[in-house]
Amino acid sequence: MGQLIGRWIRGATLAPLALLTAGMAFAQEDDVATRLAALEEAVGGSASAYVDNSYLFLIGGLIVMFMAAGFCMLEAGLVRSKNAAMQSMKNVTLFSVAGLMFWITGYNLAYPGDATLFNGLLPTNFGPWSGGDLSVESDGGYAPASDWFFQMVFVATAASIVSGTVAERVKIWPFLIFTAVLTAFIYPVVASWEWGGGYLDSVWSFSDFAGSTLVHSTGGWAALTGAIIIGARSGKYSGKTVNPMPGSNIPLAALGTFILWFGWFGFNGASQLAAGTAADINSVSQIFANTNMAAVGGVLAAMVTTAVLYKGKLDATLIFNGAIGGLVSITAEPLAPSMGMSVLIGAVGGVLVVVSVPLLDKFKIDDVVGAIPAHLICGIWGTMIVPLTNSGASYAGQAVGVALTGVFVVIISSIIWFALKFTIGVRPSEEDEEMGLDRAELGLEAYPEFSNR
């Protein structure tokens, strides 16, 4: 601002004032008109806010896209080595399926253009997305394809969540078919209710800034349904005993955690949806700070909780999941809370992660990477706490959103998982599972030269 005033003064000093003194000639009139028109053209043509908004989507989308690598590393690090190549490949292929399906039907279903009840289900919205004329400014104030790209990487995130939970005992083809339905239909319908201006938004003033419920819980519910229907890995539970199956590559899991943390600044920050004004970029920046504080809270709370529960021993994978739990918790409302409140919201998420893991084991729900605690449980927590800091949301409205999403995703996911189970089958044979999916389905190994103990 000081700079701007400085320029103003300099500008005034430099201005050819001498030209404008008489009472006065046409030339001067012309000059004013010319200069005004040129300025209007320059301001309009440089499209500063339009470019700034589009950059937000592109850069945000870019690092959310990179979260696919984060999920891949986290999951490849937390499965046993005999499934690590398959898990890596699944993450590459699921990202591809998600991109394809979101183009074919997903985007148009999720953003139907006008909001009606169950707008996401209207058959008129099916069909591939097209960005339209590149030479004109879009009415939305940003480049259409930048928005498509940004929304597409969100749907891929939902799909990545599922792959971690059901790792090590699902065949690749049924998994990808489920991914196709999730990204072509399930997620888009849920998103349409809120971000498409539909039922939850218009009737319940449901508030989910960047998708604690819409993205993370949707992925989490689909993962939970899958884990129950597919069943646990063979040997995981014998009677009341839980047999630990430790991850094969913890440094890769740490890398995955950092990549997810990195990408989350785009996930939450770019969900401000605009960056062309001071108020918008101030908000984007505050979201960056709050997002980081929530992850910090999640890590430190998970650390302290594991130290208390496990008598001084820390658990690296729970601490990594604490970061993710903290991040999911702040995703529903990363702007309104103060930084201190963001730490607390994230910290509760971190605690929830640590206490949920044994709970799942009690029910013999085998979640290989801990995605259900981090994405589903923390997604619910983050969504339900929004009204504390955002007066535009109500606890009732939030509860309706959480419940409706849960019911819908569980029902449709169950139908798909059961249909797959009773047709092409979802599990590999006992021998294949024992041998590992790398050799069974890929014909190679993740680490062929490192002997297993």
The interface with a copy of itself within residues 44-63 (CB under 8 A) comprises 44-52, 54-55, 57-59, 61-63
Instruction: For residue 338, state whether it binds a copy of itself (rule: CB under 8 A).
Output: yes
Minimum Å gap between C-beta 315 and a copy of itself is: 7
Q: Would you state the structure tokens that stand for residue 401, as one six-digit string?
A: 């959103």
Which residues in the 141-200 window bind a copy of itself by CB under 8 A?
Answer: 141, 143-146, 148-149, 152, 172
Q: Token match 């940003």: residue?
A: 142
- CA–CA distance, 141 with 133 (Å, rounded to integer): 14
Minimum CB–partner distance for residue 303 and a copy of itself (Å): 6
Q: Is 241 helix (H, G, I), strand (E, B) or coil?
A: strand
Q: Write the DSSP assignment of 217-240 as a string of letters.
A: IHHHHHHHHHHHHH-PPTTSEETT
DSSP 263-276: HHHHHHHGGG---S
**Of the two residues 124 and 278, which places its CB atom closer to a copy of itself in the complex?**
278
Q: List CB contacts of 81: < 8 A, sequence separation 6 or more.
A: 248, 249, 436, 445, 446, 447, 450, 452
Position 106 contacts a copy of itself (CB under 8 A): no
Span near a copy of itself by CB under 8 A; candidates 235-243, 316-324, 387-395, 410-418: 316-324
Yes or no: say if 100 and 179 are a contact pair by the CB < 8 Å rule. no
By beta-carbon proximity to a copy of itself, the closer residue of 70 and 401 is 70
Tell me the closest approach of the beta carbon of residue 208 to a copy of itself, in angstroms. 20
Q: Which stretch binds a copy of itself (CB under 8 A): 109-117, 127-135, 227-235, 372-380?
A: 127-135
Q: In the complex with a copy of itself, which residue's Cβ is closer, 143 or 409?
A: 143
Residue number, 320 or 417, with CB nearest to a copy of itself: 320
CB of residue 84 to a copy of itself, shortest distance in Å: 5
- Give the binding-site size for a copy of itself (rule: CB under 8 A): 163
Would you say 45 or 239 has its CB closer to a copy of itself?
45
Which 373-432 positions form the footprint of a copy of itself (CB under 8 A)? none
Which residues between 20 and 39 bind a copy of itself (CB under 8 A)? 20-39
In the complex with a copy of itself, which residue's Cβ is closer, 378 or 409?
378
**Span interacting with a copy of itself, options 136-144, 203-211, 221-229, 378-386, rule CB under 8 A:** 136-144
Distances (CA, A) of 336 to 220, 292, 372, 418: 25, 14, 26, 41
How many residues are there in the chain? 453
CB of 435 to a copy of itself, least distance (A): 13
Least separation in angstroms between residue 296's CB and a copy of itself is 4
Give yes or no for a contact between 164 and 171, defined as CB atoms under 8 angstroms apart.
Answer: no
The rounded distance, in Å, linking the Cα atoms of 190 and 224 is 17
Between CA 268 and CA 329 the distance in angstroms is 11
Q: Does 450 bind a copy of itself (CB under 8 A)?
A: yes
Residues 266-285 that bind a copy of itself (CB under 8 A): 269, 275-279, 281-285
**Is residue 80 near a copy of itself by the rule CB under 8 A?**
yes
Q: Distance (Å, rounded) from C-alpha 279 to C-alpha 265?
A: 18
d(CA 19, CA 32): 11
Is 329 a binding residue for a copy of itself by CB under 8 A? The answer is no
CA–CA separation, 409 and 268 (whole Å): 23
Q: Which span (96-104, 391-399, 401-409, 427-435) binds a copy of itself, by CB under 8 A?
A: 96-104
Q: 329 — phi, psi (to 5°)? A: -65, -35
